[in-house]
Amino acid sequence: MTTTKGATMEGLLPQLGIVRKDFPILERTLAGGLPLVYLDSANTSQKPQVVIDTMVDHLERHNANISRAMHQLGAESTEAFEAARDKVATFIGAPSRDEVIFTKNASEALNLVANSLAWATGDLAIGPGDEVLITEMEHHSNIVPWQLLTERKGATLRWFGLTDDGHLDLDGPQGIDELITERTKVVSFTWVSNMLGTINPVAEITRRAHEVGAIVVVDASQSAPQMPTDLAAMEPVERPDVIAFTGHKVVGPTGIGVLWGRGDLLAQLPPFLGGGEMIETVRMEGSTYAPIPHRFEAGTPPIVEAVGLGAAVDYLGELGLGAVRDHEHAITAYALDGLATVPGLRVLGPLDAAERGGAISFELDGVHPHDIAQVLDARGVAVRAGHHCAKPAHARFGVQSSTRMSSYLYTTPAEIDALVEALEYTRSYFKLG
């Protein structure tokens, strides 16, 4: 699916047509003979054949539990699992591979940090008079754990508000200097908003938080798929202490997430879950815990999912995250221009593609988001409708829900054209003019 304009558009991945053939689902024909136009990648990305094949091969030839089995299959499975950890560490530029912890998703990773901090002692302890700072644009997974923590510990939850154009309000009366104080113990925020698409100034916020000794936690679920990350290359004062992301948004499988944390911080945190592999020794009188990363990986981990994630980040590494970022920027700019031609449509969030990622939420006057999604689906265009697990952000802009299109490395200009045409059809279907 190409267009003349798409063939000449700067920034698109070279050989985009060949790249698309790596993703078998994109060849699907839907009911009525319609080609699939998949614009829901912020929800979950599609998977290249190499990820599928790698997971099948592991299940067919190497399936065994890790660490505990003293036989060849167990050794092979353990080697594949730990190799995946090495690959992820390289993908994000982790200073140490032992700082990479596998979870079941980003939500669990964020909950791990919040719950471990709830049990922390000494300088990490949080209690009355302390503050945790988040933002109004967060996914619920980066709101609810901090609500639970502050409620349990008697601390105060505060947050950055949003400007009318969808940026964090860092310069207002409740801006960065007013909200980050000596009372701040944790600052947790998203790198890229899953609803507004906004790219947040990680370095600036982190630097200010570190000035007061606060821990910085960054939800990288939307940034990791489309932006190069090199933690080791970041200035220590500008490097977050923790980042979290999920496998299924980086062309990997569901059921696997990643928590990276500064090694000395993780070593001070109590375990999140108890059970097999996270112990050093167990006595009836008490237990001692394994060093990181196994300290936070209780029980049988998502083995084949980790192996699939390893193949996924290898795939992205071969494409080059810089090239993926450029592609996303080009497609996002093209989409913003196309959406601007639809009467009655309002984009929520920044209108400059340079300030945002590939997720674009919008309203269409006179049509409920669920109705938009249904009409688009009938024309083969897959988008998401709802609150996108970001109810506070929707409330800030006076809406209950929105429709969201989200592109990725396999998205073509022709698919954006199909979206715009389907929205025009939606307007005529509901007799909007």
How far apart (Å, rounded) are the C-alpha atoms in residues 76 and 87?
16
Contact indicator for 334, 168 with CB cutoff of 8 Å: no
How far apart (Å, rounded) are the C-alpha atoms in residues 46 and 380?
16
Which secondary structure element, helix H or strand E, spans residue 278, and what is its range? none
User: What is the Cα gyration radius of the chain?
Assistant: 22
Among the options 157, 389, 399, 432, which is catalytic?
389
How far apart (Å, rounded) are the C-alpha atoms in residues 314 and 309?
8
Which secondary structure element, helix H or strand E, spans residue 391, and what is its range? helix 391-396
Strand partners, 291: none
Q: Where are the extended beta strands (E) located within 252-309? A: 257-261, 279-283, 286-289
Contact indicator for 116, 142 with CB cutoff of 8 Å: no
Is residue 389 annotated as part of the catalytic site, yes or no?
yes
Place of tokens 């938080």: 209
Which secondary structure element, helix H or strand E, spans residue 288, and what is its range? strand 286-289
How far apart (Å, rounded) are the C-alpha atoms in residues 72 and 390?
47
Alpha carbon separation from 55 to 47, 50, 58, 60 (Å, rounded): 11, 9, 5, 9
Torsional sign, CA 224, 230, 231, 234: negative
Q: Kindly list the catalytic residues.
A: 389
